[in-house]
């Protein structure tokens, strides 16, 4: 009985730890936490690639349901346009086009963002730093 309890506890701990672990390409990259229209992401940017890890729960989301929020979060944090987005509803990776630089959000903060306007498939966001 004790063995089964220990095995369950170790398995549960593994799932909890793995839920917020960046991919191999982004280990050691400090995340920026950002919320866009109710979805919260830890965004990591390294050169011309980025990763957005969705932290909130949703019932059976598909990528197309959260991709606009993930794309907007990556663009706000990186200051670059997303050229290509891959992944799933929980973990998205992007290739960036930094030819037309945007104003990136300062690192080390947590942000809450709302979509202000969508023009030509690109979203303009209003973001405020959240006090911890």
User: Which pair of structure tokens corresponds to residue 103?
Assistant: 């104003």
**Torsion over CA: 120, 37, 99, 129 (sign):** positive
Q: Whole-angstrom Cα distance, residue 89 to residue 56?
A: 11
Q: Whole-angstrom Cα distance, residue 91 to residue 108?
A: 21
Q: Whole-angstrom Cα distance, residue 35 to residue 3?
A: 41
- Is 49 in a helix, a strand, or coil? strand
pTM for the model? 0.69
- How many residues can be counted in the chain? 132
Beta bridge partners of 92: 52, 87
* Domain residue ranges in the chain: 2-130
Other C-beta atoms within 10 Å of 23: how many? 14
* Residue 128 near residue 35, CB atoms below 8 Å: no
**Per-residue pLDDT in tens (0 to 9) along the chain, 132 residues:** 565 555 554 454 444 444 567 777 788 899 999 999 999 999 999 999 999 999 999 887 888 889 999 999 999 999 999 999 999 999 999 999 988 667 777 777 788 887 766 665 566 777 788 876
């Amino acid at each position: 009985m004790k063995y089964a309890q220990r095995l369950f506890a170790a398995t549960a701990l593994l799932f909890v730890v793995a839920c917020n672990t960046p991919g191999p390409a982004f280990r050691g990259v400090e995340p920026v936490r950002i919320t866009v229209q109710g979805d919260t992401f830890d965004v990591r940017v390294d050169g011309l690639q980025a990763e957005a890890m969705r932290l909130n729960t949703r019932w059976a989301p598909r990528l197309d349901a959260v991709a606009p929020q993930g794309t907007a979060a990556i663009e706000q944090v990186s200051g670059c346009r997303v050229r290509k987005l891959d992944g799933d509803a929980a973990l998205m990776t992007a290739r960036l086009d930094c030819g037309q630089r945007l104003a990136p959000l300062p690192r080390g903060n947590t942000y809450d963002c709302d979509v202000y306007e969508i023009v030509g498939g690109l979203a303009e966001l209003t973001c405020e730093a959240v006090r911890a």
